[in-house]
Structure 1
Amino acid sequence: MALSMRWLWVAGLLLLGYLLYLLAPILTPFFAGIVLAYLFDPLVTRLTHWRIGRTVGTTLVFFGLSLLLVLAVLALVPAIVDQAVKLVRVVPALMARLQTQLVPMINEHLGMNLDLNLLTQLSMQHAQEIGSVIAKSARVVFGNGTGVVLALANALLIPVIGFYFLRDWPLMLERVRGLLPRSQEARWVGLAQESNTVMGGFLRGQLAVMLANGVTYSIGLTFAGLDTGIVIGMTAGMLSFVPYLGNIIGITMALIAMYIQTGEWTPLLWVLLVFGIGQTLESVVWQPRFVGERIGLHPVAVIFAVMAGGALFGFFGVLLALPVSAILVVLGRHALAQYRASDWYRDASNTPPLHSPPRDS
């Protein structure tokens, strides 16, 4: 009977996973709402301790978030747009420098006949064909505007769903707890509390690390004299949740932009110094302070988790990949402890090897 119940649970979990996979295109606002509720539930709970109702507290939190978002847009978006335009202009300037400086050196030393201007002319001649391919690809991706409408609907639904999730968060947790088997309630509640500690600490800590990296790189690159320092710095910081990705992209963009801006090699050393200081601060200060050892995933496992999350659930799958991995780490740790405590493991450890090594005579 117990064995059949276990297989029933396994079948139910597999069915649930398959349904989530099928419903992935419409789950984005719900995942985002859950993340909002999870992140800001402690703040709303603290407001309830001050005799503020949960509905009022949730409204205040969303009003505060909206106000911060509006202020950030008004303060940062003009500068970011201006720097983004400058960054786009870097590409033709880079092609011109390559044509006048690097290509002649390659042709002279390797006996080749490269001509970037010819490549540019060919690209212009085939621009109409390229545009047609892009248009066809866009129709495939968006399906006559359905994808765009769905994306806009998701963006509008996120705050609505997040509000209801945040308001009713304790009630939902209590209902889930009420569905647990009475004999297993303490065990599952303990696992949930440990997962909450690991995931909550990691999620909030990783967001803090990303913001700290973005601010550090932006300030450093701006002081180094890079006109697009804010855009490149924040991009590198927001991508730093994937090991090495933020640094690789940030350094590459900053080196190219700085060389195009100045035309000299010495300022590139300042760019490398900024990222060196930023990486040191991340390793010595930000990660130990905000994240610590809360998740314990190997960098390769982190990269796999992010790629798998993106392939299954898109952008928010990328964001949720590491928190979900943190929960899986906790569950895997307990499963491994149970395995090592099982009779099967102990019996296997006491079983002699099939082929005993010969004894020395």
Structure 2
Amino acid sequence: MKDSRLFLWLVVVFAIGWLLFKLSPILTPFLMAALIAYLGDPLADRLEARKIPRAMAVTIVFASFFIGIALIILVLIPTLDSQVSRLAQNVPDYFSWAREQIGPMMEKYLSIDPATFNLEGVQKALKENLGDTSSFLKKLIAGLAKPANFIVTWGTYLFLIPVVAFYLLRDWDILLAKINDLIPRSKQDMVKELASRCDYVLGGFLRGQVLVMLALGVLYAVGLSVLGLDLAIIIGLFAGLVSFVPYLGLIVGILIAGLMAIIQFQDWVHPLGVVIIFTLAQMIEGTILTPKFVGERTGLHPVAVLFSVLAGGQLFGFLGILLALPIAAMINVFLGYFKEHYLQSELYNDEESAIMDDSTINTSDQPDTHHDEA
């Protein structure tokens, strides 16, 4: 009977996994909306505890979220515009330096003719497209928006994600209650325990990781801006955003910013400054930011994190990369729970009891020397 139930559950899990895999292209907006609702639910609950109706509390959360995004855009766009414009003005100098310094080295040590790279064509294209940020973004969007599928897909995402997230956040507690009603009574304690652990891990990790990523992006951007690096904000924020993979933001940021510093300043002092900025930011992240906001919530080894991200990207693309760490953290919670029960089970303790039985048998088989002597 137990074997048939286990087989049935395995079939159900396999069917659900196969269905999710097949529907992954259309699940992206719904999963992103569910993630937004999950992250915003604690704030909505706090507002609701202050006697604010749930619908009004959800509206306040959404309004705050979109106002924050609008403010960030209004602050960043002018700064990015000035940095891109300055980069466009300095492009001829950068290419002249690269032609004079890097070209001979490539020809001497790598036997590569610099003329094969057509630097003049690249320089002309950059000057034409980096006049200012607004025109560059318009051309980029126009180029991307040519296929009809792109317009339909992103139009659907922009419409579905806020709408679905709003309704999910409004009815979050009702949905959880309905799911709880479907759980078999005999399994409720186990499910509640696992759900509580997953909520502790996921909630703390996701909210904390977002704060750490934003803080690192600001630290990188401010440090590189003080150093005077072109595109400091873009490079800094990008390095902060990819820092959800351990050391990836550090490595990518140092490589991109270091190369930019070499081309821009044509010395070794500023690249050294780049290394110092990223090292200091990484020290702050490791000693202050992560312990305060994230802690050891996931319990995942860095190798497991890298494998999870790569596996998620291979299976589900960009969506898999975003969901890799949360899913890996949940799997780790399940493994930890079942490990605890396994260590307390008869299966694990059979060997110990068998050894005790053997020792008892061996002791009983030994002759009673004291009795013989008597």
**What range is the shorter-chain TM-score in?**
0.7 to 0.9
SS of the residue 2:118 aligns to: helix
Which of these residues, 188, 193, 216, is aligned with residue 196 of structure 2?
Answer: 193
**Contact 1:224 1:270 (C-alpha < 8 Å) held by counterparts:** yes
Structure 2 equivalent of residue 68 of structure 1: 68
Higher mean displacement: 6-15 or 35-44: 6-15
Which of these residues, 115, 118, 125, is aligned with residue 113 of structure 2?
Answer: 115
**Contact 1:216 1:233 (C-alpha < 8 Å) held by counterparts:** yes
Structure 1 equivalent of residue 208 of structure 2: 205
Structure 2 equivalent of residue 214 of structure 1: 217
Structure 1 equivalent of residue 324 of structure 2: 321
Amino acid at match of 1:180: I
The alpha carbon displacement at 1:315 in A equals 2.6
Amino acid at match of 1:302: V
Q: Note the 1:89-128 alignment, pairs <5 A.
A: 96-108=96-108, 110=109, 113-120=111-118
CA distance in 1, matches of 2:227, 2:166: 42
Structure 2 equivalent of residue 83 of structure 1: 83
Q: Deviations over 1:140-166 (max 9, x none)?
A: x99952244123211221000000110
Q: Give unpaired runs (5+ residues) of structure 2.
A: 126-143, 356-374
1:27 aligns with 2:27: yes
User: Matched residue pairs, number?
Assistant: 335
CA distance in 1, matches of 2:269, 2:169: 52
CA distance in 2, matches of 1:118, 1:316: 38
* Change over 3 Å in CA distance of 1:242–1:85 after alignment to 2: farther
Structure 1 equivalent of residue 238 of structure 2: 235
Higher mean displacement: 144-153 or 20-29: 144-153
CA distance in 1, matches of 2:39, 2:158: 18
CA distance in 1, matches of 2:53, 2:335: 38
CA distance in 2, matches of 1:61, 1:281: 30
CA distance in 2, matches of 1:349, 1:74: 67
The alpha carbon displacement at 1:284 in A equals 0.8
Higher mean displacement: 287-296 or 335-344: 335-344
Give the TM-score normalised by structure 1.
0.85
Q: Note the 1:1-361 alignment, pairs <5 A.
A: 1-84=1-84, 96-108=96-108, 110=109, 113-120=111-118, 145-348=148-351
**Contact 2:212 2:293 (C-alpha < 8 Å) held by counterparts:** yes
CA distance in 2, matches of 1:77, 1:47: 32
Give the TM-score normalised by structure 2.
0.82
CA distance in 2, matches of 1:317, 1:79: 32
The alpha carbon displacement at 1:269 in A equals 1.6
The alpha carbon displacement at 1:6 in A equals 2.3
Q: Give unpaired runs (5+ residues) of structure 1.
A: 128-140, 353-361
SS of the residue 2:298 aligns to: coil
CA distance in 1, matches of 2:214, 2:86: 23
**Contact 2:107 2:113 (C-alpha < 8 Å) held by counterparts:** no
CA distance in 2, matches of 1:118, 1:233: 32
Amino acid at match of 2:350: D
CA distance in 2, matches of 1:215, 1:256: 20
SS of the residue 1:9 aligns to: helix
The alpha carbon displacement at 1:16 in A equals 0.5
* Change over 3 Å in CA distance of 1:82–1:14 after alignment to 2: farther
* Change over 3 Å in CA distance of 1:311–1:90 after alignment to 2: farther
Bigger relative contact order, structure 1 or 2 (CA pairs below 8 A, ≥6 apart): 1
CA distance in 1, matches of 2:55, 2:111: 71
CA distance in 1, matches of 2:174, 2:270: 57
The alpha carbon displacement at 1:115 in A equals 2.3
* Change over 3 Å in CA distance of 1:11–1:222 after alignment to 2: same
The alpha carbon displacement at 1:345 in A equals 2.2
**Contact 2:106 2:113 (C-alpha < 8 Å) held by counterparts:** no
* Change over 3 Å in CA distance of 1:156–1:83 after alignment to 2: farther
Q: Deviations over 1:63-95 (max 9, x none)?
A: 111111111111112323443565688887655
Query: Aligned-pair RMSD on alpha carbons?
Result: 2.6
* Change over 3 Å in CA distance of 1:121–1:223 after alignment to 2: closer
**Contact 2:98 2:263 (C-alpha < 8 Å) held by counterparts:** no
SS of the residue 1:23 aligns to: helix
The alpha carbon displacement at 1:311 in A equals 2.9
**Contact 1:99 1:115 (C-alpha < 8 Å) held by counterparts:** no
Higher mean displacement: 23-32 or 342-351: 342-351
CA distance in 1, matches of 2:313, 2:74: 30
Among all aligned residue pairs of Structure 1 and Structure 2, give the percentage whose two residues are the same amino acid. 41
